[in-house]
Amino acid sequence: MNTTTADPLATLLTDARAALPETVDLRRRLHRTPEVGLHLPATQAIVIEELRGLGLEPRTGAATTSLTAVIEGARPGPTILLRADMDGLPLAEETGLEFASATPGTMHACGHDTHMAMLLGAARLLVARRDALAGRVLLMLQPGEEGYHGARFMLDEGLLEMPAGQDVTGAFALHISTRYASGTIDYRPGAMLVAADFIRLTIRGRGGHASAPHETIDPIPVAAEIVLALQAMVTRRVDAFDPAVVTIAHIDAGTTTNIIPETAFVEGTIRTASEATRALVHAGVRRVVEGICAAHGAIAELEIIPGYPVTLNDPGFTAFAAEVAAEVLGTDAVVELASPIMGAEDFSYVLQRVPGAMFFVGARPPEEDPATAPQNHSNRVVFHEPAMAVGAAVYAAVALRHLAG
């Protein structure tokens, strides 16, 4: 390596800030036209045009509207994967922003519009620094992060078997959040986000007249007992330092005052921060549900539907990326979190295959009170756009250092 060459990180943040107007413009165009799920044709079209504008060749997925593109470095070497998600959420925007969603009932309320804009910003910085890259950067743009397993579709379609994917030695993603001060990077090694699974239960009893419960099998008290017993199961069976949350969020039974219904329907979510606790809680839910139903002569029809796995940040890659972020932003802007976030992410599927990490980019507007700022998934959430320059610079810096040769 030519040691007289200037450090490619030296001007990264300055250049990202200089390009902020383009990043903001792209983000606002995407924000105006949000789409939900695995098929996002309008979003995909905008991103394809942007990638081509940088001289890159986007490749489209078959099963979904996913995209990949490769930035070839000047010298050979391994590949780093940088990921952004592309989907919005089914809710009606109430931010009052001039660039608010033009699609009724749909909103980029989790900031995935900013993720695409930051990744494109990083791509621009990296294309201009190809000479400093020993290897290649694989850009992964996925639809369907919000519960549709979009990343898994891309992996199933051969993301890591395609020519540019075979030598991926690191994977990195950023997620914007109003939980943290604008311009900070917030992270932790190990579990960053949790596994989210779903309980769906029908308790089958025997209906009849409300005046003669002994002639029926009333599913309502059975449901009530299960709801409370699940909470006791969590506190008595789960290590307090490897936490779990079980929430029953929906109960439905009966029609009126004088009928005992045949069935009661109960559903909710299980959140766990390790695969060991995840398995333990699944078994506990089954035991409690089946045991209580059996005790009352009711039949349990229980489904535990697996959602995303735990998002596990590789300790080595995490330490490396945090160091790189501190190099770009200064140590005060890089904050290690004490505990995981109880949300879930399908980047977890990528991290099961490749050592890497997901970090947060703080984007809470400075004028907002941390206690009351609308959060991701709120239809009033507003992200502080200058934080996107930080995100673009950190994405690019992690790639440059990983491929330093």
Which residues participate in catalysis according to the annotation?
308, 385
**Are 152 and 94 spatial neighbours (Cβ–Cβ below 8 Å)?**
no
CA torsion 331→336→341→347, rounded to 10°? 70
Q: Which two tokens stand for residue 355?
A: 């050592």
Residues 6+ apart with CB under 8 A from 113: 27, 30, 31, 34, 88
Tell how many helices (H) and how many strands (E) occur in the chain: 10, 16
Instruction: Give the shortest CB-292-to-Zn ion separation in angstroms.
Output: 36
Q: Is 164 in the site for Zn ion (CB under 5 A)?
A: no
Residue in 110, 122, 141, 328 binding Zn ion, rule: CB under 5 A: 110
Comparison of 150 and 284: residue with beta carbon closer to Zn ion: 150
Comparison of 78 and 343: residue with beta carbon closer to Zn ion: 343
Comparison of 84 and 132: residue with beta carbon closer to Zn ion: 84
Q: Is 328 in the site for Zn ion (CB under 5 A)?
A: no
Q: Which among 28-36, 105-113, 222-230, 242-250 is the span making contact with Zn ion, rule CB under 5 A?
A: 105-113
**Are 403 and 208 spatial neighbours (Cβ–Cβ below 8 Å)?**
no
Closest CA to 176 of 329, 393, 390, 404: 390
Closest CA to 190 of 242, 245, 149, 150: 242
Q: Which among 45-53, 100-108, 110-118, 334-342 is the span making contact with Zn ion, rule CB under 5 A?
A: 110-118
- State the greatest distance between any 2 C-alpha atoms of the chain, in Å, as a whole number: 90
Q: Is 203 in the site for Zn ion (CB under 5 A)?
A: no
DSSP β-ladder status, 59-60 and 67-72: antiparallel
DSSP β-ladder status, 67-72 and 134-142: antiparallel
Instruction: Give the shortest CB-313-to-Zn ion separation in angstroms.
Output: 16
Instruction: Give the shortest CB-146-to-Zn ion separation in angstroms.
Output: 7
- In whole angstroms, what separates CA 340 from the centre of its chain? 13
Comparison of 38 and 110: residue with beta carbon closer to Zn ion: 110
Strands (E), 231-367: 244-253, 259-260, 263-272, 299-305, 311-313, 334-336, 356-364
Q: Which among 96-104, 108-116, 125-133, 302-310 is the span making contact with Zn ion, rule CB under 5 A?
A: 108-116
Q: Which among 62-70, 75-83, 107-115, 225-233 is the span making contact with Zn ion, rule CB under 5 A?
A: 107-115
Q: Which among 103-111, 180-188, 266-274, 364-372 is the span making contact with Zn ion, rule CB under 5 A?
A: 103-111
CA torsion 292→294→297→302, rounded to 10°? 80
Q: Is 141 in the site for Zn ion (CB under 5 A)?
A: no
**Are 81 and 172 spatial neighbours (Cβ–Cβ below 8 Å)?**
yes
Comparison of 83 and 136: residue with beta carbon closer to Zn ion: 83
Comparison of 110 and 155: residue with beta carbon closer to Zn ion: 110
Q: Is 176 in the site for Zn ion (CB under 5 A)?
A: no
Instruction: Give the shortest CB-110-to-Zn ion separation in angstroms.
Output: 3
Instruction: Give the shortest CB-165-to-Zn ion separation in angstroms.
Output: 23
Q: Which two tokens stand for residue 380?
A: 């009033």
The residue whose Cβ lies closest to Zn ion is 110
Q: Is 196 in the site for Zn ion (CB under 5 A)?
A: no
Instruction: Give the shortest CB-145-to-Zn ion separation in angstroms.
Output: 6
Q: Which two tokens stand for residue 343?
A: 């949300």
Instruction: Give the shortest CB-112-to-Zn ion separation in angstroms.
Output: 6
Comparison of 109 and 120: residue with beta carbon closer to Zn ion: 109
| Binding residue count for Zn ion, defined by CB under 5 A | 1
Comparison of 24 and 110: residue with beta carbon closer to Zn ion: 110
Q: Which two tokens stand for residue 395?
A: 């994405």
Instruction: Give the shortest CB-85-to-Zn ion separation in angstroms.
Output: 6
CB count in 10 Å sphere of residue 175: 26
Q: Which residues of this protein are in contact with Zn ion, per CB under 5 A?
A: 110
